[in-house]
């Protein structure tokens, strides 16, 4: 409903545990203030996020992403989210839920035609450690597999990749380790 993380911090009045947390909150609530600027200088991720959001071409964005691997897909301007080069860097450190949510985007943009990229994705989906660390519930993995195999979503269509679908089957099996009685 239009709320930002800064809005939530302003109305909830949290008590920061330490100075770094205090600086991070200052940046989120008022990035142009003196403390917000200090935070931006203290934390590379804040500075790189601001620079990434102002990028007008993918080449500049890639420089920032290579410099700071903490940049996540949510920090990328929307107009660059269909760029193969961007995702090729992001996929190395992407959490499981984000990876699964973006499989249809990868397929719709023909990213799986690149065998190296496809192998990175499949290796993640077939890694028991990655699946366990990701903590996804088996039902969510099942739904992702079903949606991916259908080849269409609310806003796009794609050709499902058999190898990726098979890797999702493996992820489904491993995800049962995430269930807690």
Nearest to 91 by CA among 111, 110, 113: 111
pLDDT of 80-100, one tens digit each?
A: 999 999 999 999 999 999 999
In whole angstroms, what separates CA 38 from the centre of its chain?
A: 27
Closest CA to 122 of 53, 171, 55: 171
Average pLDDT value for residue range 112-129 = 97
157 has which bridge partners?
152
DSSP state at residue 111: G
What confidence tens digit (pLDDT) does each residue in 2-29 have?
888 788 888 998 888 988 888 888 888 8
Angle at 83 between CA 140 and CA 97, to 5 degrees: 15
Residue 121 has pLDDT above 90, yes or no: yes
Bridge partners, residue 152, by sequence: 157
């Amino acid at each position: 409903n239009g709320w930002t993380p800064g809005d939530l911090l302003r109305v909830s009045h949290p008590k920061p545990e330490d100075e770094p947390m205090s600086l991070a909150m200052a940046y989120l609530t008022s990035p142009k203030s003196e403390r917000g600027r200090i935070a931006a200088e203290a934390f590379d991720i804040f500075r790189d996020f601001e620079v990434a959001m102002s990028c007008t071409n993918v080449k500049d964005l890639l420089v920032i992403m290579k410099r700071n691997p903490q940049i996540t897909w949510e920090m990328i301007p929307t107009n660059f989210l269909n760029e193969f080069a961007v995702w090729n860097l992001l996929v190395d450190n992407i959490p499981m839920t984000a990876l699964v949510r973006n499989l249809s985007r990868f397929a719709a943009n023909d990213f799986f035609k690149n065998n190296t990229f496809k192998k990175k994705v499949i290796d993640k989906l077939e890694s028991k450690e990655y699946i366990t660390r990701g903590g996804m519930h088996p039902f969510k993995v099942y739904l992702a597999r079903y949606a991916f195999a259908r080849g269409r979503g609310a806003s796009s269509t794609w050709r499902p990749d058999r190898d990726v679908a098979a890797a999702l089957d493996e992820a489904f099996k491993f995800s049962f380790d995430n269930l807690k009685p």
